[in-house]
Amino acid sequence: MKKTWKVGVSALMAVLLLAGCGANNGNTNTGTTGEGSASGKTVTLKMFIGLPRFKDQFDKYIDQFVAKQKAEKNIDVKVQLEMPSSDNASQILKTRLASNDAPDIYSIHAINEIPSFYRAGYLEDLSNQPFVDRLLDSVKPAVTIDNKIVALPLETQSWGYLYNKKIFNDLNLKVPTTLSEMKQVVETLQKNNIAPFELAYKEAWIPQLFLPLNVGAQISAGNKDFIERMNKNEGSFTEMKSMFDIIDLVNANGTPKALEAGGDDGAAAFANGKAAMWVQGPWYAETILKANPDIDFGIAPLPIDDNPDHTLINLGASTSLVVSPTSKNKEVALDFLNYMLDDKDSSALFESLKFDPVIKSHTYETYPWVKDAQVYVKENKAYRDPSIPQAVKDEVGKGLQSYFSKQMSQDDVLKALDKAWKDYNKVNKQ
Q: Which residues contact 207 (CB under 8 A, 6 or more apart)?
A: 201, 396, 397, 400, 401, 404
Please answer whether residues 308 and 176 qualify as being in contact, where contact means their C-beta atoms are separated by less than 8 angstroms.
no
Confidence of residue 23 (pLDDT cuts 50, 70, 90): very low
- Using the predicted structure, report yes or no on whether residue 34 has a pLDDT greater than 80: no
Q: Which of 4-8, 242-246, 277-281, 392-396 has the lowest mean pLDDT?
A: 4-8
- Using the predicted structure, report yes or no on whether residue 419 has a pLDDT greater than 70: yes
Residues 333-346: tens digit of each pLDDT: 999 999 999 999 99
Higher pLDDT, 174 or 387: 174
CA distance 422 to 428: 10
Confidence of residue 156 (pLDDT cuts 50, 70, 90): confident
Count of other CB atoms within 10 angstroms of residue 273: 14
Q: What average pLDDT does this structure show over 50-67?
A: 95
Q: What average pLDDT does this structure show over 244-249?
A: 97
Q: CATH assignment of 157-316+369-427, given 3.40.960.10, 3.40.190.10, 3.40.640.10, 3.40.50.150?
A: 3.40.190.10
The CATH classification number of 3-152+318-363 equals 3.40.190.10
Q: Which of 219-223, 253-257, 324-328, 411-415 has the lowest mean pLDDT?
A: 219-223
Question: What pLDDT is attached to residue 7?
Answer: 38
Q: What average pLDDT does this structure show over 109-127?
A: 93
Q: Which of 55-64, 129-138, 248-257 has the lowest mean pLDDT?
A: 129-138
pTM to 2 decimal places: 0.74
Share of the chain above pLDDT 90, in %: 73
- Using the predicted structure, report yes or no on whether residue 88 has a pLDDT greater than 90: no
Identify the CA nearest to 151 among candidates 328, 382, 317, 273. Answer: 317
Higher pLDDT, 353 or 36: 353
Q: What average pLDDT does this structure show over 17-40?
A: 40
325-337: b (≥16 Cβ within 10 Å) or e:
eebbbbbbbbbbb
Q: What average pLDDT does this structure show over 268-275?
A: 97
Question: What pLDDT is attached to residue 39?
Answer: 57
Q: What angle do CA 11, 17, 20 make, to 5 degrees?
A: 145
Q: What average pLDDT does this structure show over 120-129?
A: 96
Confidence of residue 8 (pLDDT cuts 50, 70, 90): very low
Q: What angle do CA 25, 26, 28 make, to 5 degrees?
A: 110
Domain assignments of the chain as residue spans, ordered by start: 3-152+318-363, 157-316+369-427
- Using the predicted structure, report yes or no on whether residue 28 has a pLDDT greater than 70: no
Question: What pLDDT is attached to residue 101?
Answer: 94
